[in-house]
Amino acid sequence: MPTVAVTDDSFEADVLKSDKPVLVDFWAEWCGPCKMIGPSLEEISEELGDKVTIAKMDIMANTDVPGRIGVQSIPLMVLFKDGKPVAQKLGAAPKSALKGWLESEL
């Protein structure tokens, strides 16, 4: 399953009310490390799509949710379960590290 784009307007329905865990990648077009992990997140989404939804939120186009959550640095990945943030990872990492971290939190 490919990653899904979420917005301030869709965040509640797509993330908080999801029936499975959702990993939200907070990113921006100008962020080099964000672009580096993008392809890895797409691959992980295909590999773990039955267990978790991987969503991406552009913090430049959507400022409300990142502001409420307190996003100060990117890339920031926040895992939500049952509508609550349960884990987060800041910064770029190799695919194997990202996938290992995510699997350990599911």
Domain spans in the chain, listed from the N-terminal domain onward: 4-90
Q: Tell me: the pLDDT tens digits for 57-96? A: 999 999 999 999 999 999 999 999 999 999 999 999 999 9
Q: Mean pLDDT score of the chain, rounded to an integer?
A: 97
Q: What is the mean pLDDT of residues 35-53?
A: 96
Q: What is the mean pLDDT of residues 35-63?
A: 97
Catalytic site positions: 31, 34
The answer to whether the peptide bond before residue 75 is cis (omega within 30 degrees of 0) is yes
pLDDT of residue 28: 97
Question: What percent of the chain lies above the pLDDT cut of 70?
Answer: 100
Distances (CA, A) of 69 to 23, 58, 73, 85, 94: 14, 14, 12, 9, 25
Q: What is the pTM of this model?
A: 0.96
Closest CA to 21 of 53, 43, 47: 53
pLDDT category at 4 given cuts 50, 70, 90 is very high
Sheet holding 22-27, edge to edge: 4-5, 53-58, 22-27, 76-81, 84-90
Residues 6+ apart with CB under 8 A from 13: none
Fold (CATH) for 4-90 = Glutaredoxin (3.40.30)
pLDDT of residue 19: 96
